[in-house]
Amino acid sequence: MRKKIIIGNWKMTMTNNESLEFVKNIRDIISPGKVDVVFCPSYTAINEVRKRIGSKNIKVGAQNVHFETAGAYTGEINVKMLQSIGVSYVIIGHSERRIKLKETDELINKKIKLLLAEDITPILCVGENIEERLSGTYIDKIEFQIRKALEDVDIRYVEKLTIAYEPVWAISTSDNSSGLVASKKEVEEVAKNIRYIIEKLYGLYIASKIRILYGGSVSSQNSKEILETENIDGLLVGAKSTKPDIIKIVEIANKI
Ligand code: PGA
């Protein structure tokens, strides 16, 4: 039985003080219960957030990592630095990084290999854009992204992987008011295919172990329906993870 997981991707929204204020406001109310809960603040707030929220059994994650373990890379953060402040999850291949920061599949593959070897859980984000959805090539795109991300990954580590299906067209739609959100049927189809892609690559046992999440305008309104979708083991929540909604989303996950 796969344990449910709720991950908050705080993106570039809150300063250190704002993050701590948010944690202070929710820490006595949020209750992880039987669900894994992970907050991914900006680098500058991770350590302080962990100190304030760790006792609630909430873990911290990072939104990125550099693919090398050391070296002259001005401005970058390596895996050891993250481990030293208690990071146990890292979001990799988010579409905002792929599109806006030109992050390639090769780079993503290097980061996945590094994290798995270092016993940190990568949350690999995959998902199609609106053109690929409309032309019906979305499963091919997702399979391509998964195969590239997992190229030469040691099979012993693969079951630690978490994959988040995040259709680009459904991310932050509350901000751009396009209103597009993935339906339960669309999420179900892709989640089933993701598990099948892993089965083709690594066999049934490993495919049955990895957690598959959905992300893209998740809110306290739609989280129940998505969490009840077959093959979905959790949520990657953006905008609503920096709002009190996250308390409700975790509560809902606990009742499923
Ligand atoms: P959103 O972000 O919930 O604001 O759409 C999700 C994500 O980008 O991970």
* CA 73/CA 71 separation, integer angstroms: 6
**For residue 72, how far is its CA from the centre of ligand 1 (angstroms)?**
32
Mean pLDDT of 245-253: 97
Mean pLDDT of 86-102: 97
- Give the Cβ contact number of residue 256 at 10 Å: 12
Kindly report the protein residue whose alpha carbon is nearest to atom 1 of ligand 1: 238
**For residue 115, how far is its CA from the centre of ligand 1 (angstroms)?**
22
**For residue 236, how far is its CA from the centre of ligand 1 (angstroms)?**
7
Q: What is the pTM of this model?
A: 0.96
Tens-digit pLDDT profile for residues 202-233: 999 999 999 999 999 999 999 999 999 999 99
Which residues contact residue 146 at a Cβ distance below 8 angstroms, ignoring those fewer than 6 apart? Answer: 124, 126, 163, 194, 197, 198, 201
Q: Which ligand 1 atom is nearest residue 96's CA?
A: 8
Q: CB within 6 Å of ligand 1 — which residues?
A: 9, 166, 171-172, 215-218, 236-239
Q: Which residues of 181-201 are buried (b: 16+ CB within 10 A; e: fewer)?
A: bbeeebbbbbbbbbbebbeeb
Tens-digit pLDDT profile for residues 126-175: 999 999 999 999 999 999 999 999 999 999 999 999 999 999 999 988 65
Q: How confident is the model at residue 55 (pLDDT cuts 50, 70, 90)?
A: confident
Name the nearest CA neighbour of 146 among 206, 198, 207, 213.
198
Hey, which residues are catalytic here? 94, 166
Tens-digit pLDDT profile for residues 182-193: 999 999 999 999
Which residues contact residue 49 at a Cβ distance below 8 angstroms, ignoring those fewer than 6 apart? Answer: 19, 20, 23, 39, 41, 60
Mean pLDDT of 88-110: 97
Which of 51-55, 87-91, 119-123, 133-137 shows the lowest per-residue confidence on average (mean pLDDT)?
Answer: 51-55
Kindly report the protein residue whose alpha carbon is nearest to atom 7 of ligand 1: 238
